[in-house]
Amino acid sequence: MADRKLRELEARWRETQSVEDEAAWMRARFRSGELELFPEALSERMQTREFWLGYLGLKSDDIAADDAQEEDEDEDQDQGDTTLTIHLPGQHRLELRIPRWLEECSLHLHLPGLSESYEVANSDGGHPFPHLLRWDELEHICQAAAILQGSGSEDGRLLLLLHRFAPICRDSDFGRAMSLLEAAWRNLGLLGEREIRSSMEQIDRRGSGFRWQRTPTGWRLQGDEQGEILSLRASEDFPSPAWSDLTQRATELCAGQPSARLVPATIAPRLLESSYLTLTCEDDVRSLPDAFGPFLAEYLSHVFGDLDLGEVWLSGTGARTLFLLVRACDASLAHGLIAQAVLWAKAPRPAELELTEQPLVLRLGQLEAEVFEDDGVLPPGFFTLTQGYLERWQRDGLASALASLAAEEPDAEGWRQVPCVDHGALKVCARTLDSDECEGLTIVIDRSSPAASASVWRLAQRSGLHILPLGLAVSIHAEDYHGPWPTVRRVSPPELEDILEAGPEAWWSQA
């Protein structure tokens, strides 16, 4: 009986081609179990913080608790790739492919009657093209999928999965987009406010001047920095007519449906200003290896994250040149910190950056270099440089040093004030210290002094970590580093005091 009813509904739709008859047929297919939106395994994973933090690449607000939960959920380690099929009007399908490592997912469009599909967006770490959806398209797609499923309203999970492909632009209905996103996160009930704000800031491109412009072949993204626009909709291979048909049918299906009742968002992203910076690895006096670029980007990413300043990443490399993309709520501070890091690393001085009046910023971390054999493909002497996870004894050493320094309890952002007996002022970000995934400690010296320098020395000495990005060591363990770069130098407490008191400019001048 059920099969006959399905055939009758299908025949009626094929005869009338009406949106209502297609919706009736699709709802029956979902009720019969022939179709499903969220596979059971994916639904279970979406009920964990680890899934969403990994899927969106967000930093946890409670890393220690997340580590403990991960130990109790070994099944996640066995998860393979997952595919989510989104059925839409006109027998179009969107297919979201989520790999086991979560972040590098892709979105594919299947056209009715065709076996092949078109990749319309991806979050590939090397060559991402995430900018696909206008926000009204995203809302209608989610609502249409819910109508065809028979639920009538979307519970927010599909919007949370797809919003990474929907940049917030200057011409977006910003208030509605934020209300939809916050309501979805609140309904899920897994992330804290800072994590929710981070998810919003990831897609907010108002500071880059993003705006949608209608063209004869469809909507196209425009922006102040065209190089920052990563959208396959500008490609000649993009199926623009099919995409327009899909979005139009979704809009028609949603017409007449009651709009979601939204309350104004209480969480809003900060306006992050975007900038591209060009740095060089070589000049008449200095020459740094290619590994310097990724090392600098990793260092700055930790610093920006701990300071809640924004984000920075290595957007490309050229002949002895590297390109940084910076998105920050305080561009002046961000550029000053980058200039400081370049001087501390004794890299060629960038003409477009100036060292400004600001606190000294350092990190304690574990340098790890991997040198590759000359195979005729990689350049001779090629190596990678990373800041590895700390061992337990190193984390214990940091905790012991902080206790001996009478460091205050961490604030809501994980920062601990370290009292100085003189005029110095020092704080450290210990937010990840209790986690197996701790990669070091960010230190901010608001006022340099002998006591502040002595505190840095004690933290580095008890943990056996390097003082970065200078490449300084105060212990035998940190001195035992044999990578091609940087040349690690061991310093005494008075020497470290002199270096920090003189500042990055004086350090850089000692080429």
All CATH 3.30.70 domain ranges of the chain, comma separated, are 272-356
At 78, the amino acid letter reads D
Residue 347's contacts (CB-CB under 8 Å, 6 or more residues apart) are 279, 280, 281, 286, 288, 292, 296
Whole-model pTM: value is 0.83
- Each of the 511 residues of the chain gets a pLDDT tens digit; together they read 478 888 899 899 999 988 889 989 999 999 888 999 898 889 999 999 999 999 998 877 665 555 544 554 444 445 678 999 999 999 999 999 999 888 789 999 999 877 789 999 999 866 789 999 999 999 999 999 999 998 767 789 999 999 999 999 987 789 999 999 999 999 999 999 999 999 999 999 988 889 999 998 889 999 887 567 899 998 889 999 999 999 999 999 998 777 777 889 999 899 998 888 889 888 888 889 889 999 999 999 999 999 999 999 887 777 788 889 899 999 999 999 999 999 999 999 887 787 778 899 999 999 999 888 876 677 777 788 888 899 999 999 999 999 999 999 999 889 999 999 999 999 999 888 998 989 999 999 999 999 999 999 999 999 999 999 999 999 999 988 989 999 999 999 999 999 999 999 999 998 6
Neighbours of 338 (CB within 10 A): 25
The answer as to CATH 3.40.50 being correct for domain 272-356 is no
Sign of the CA dihedral running 146, 152, 156, 157: negative
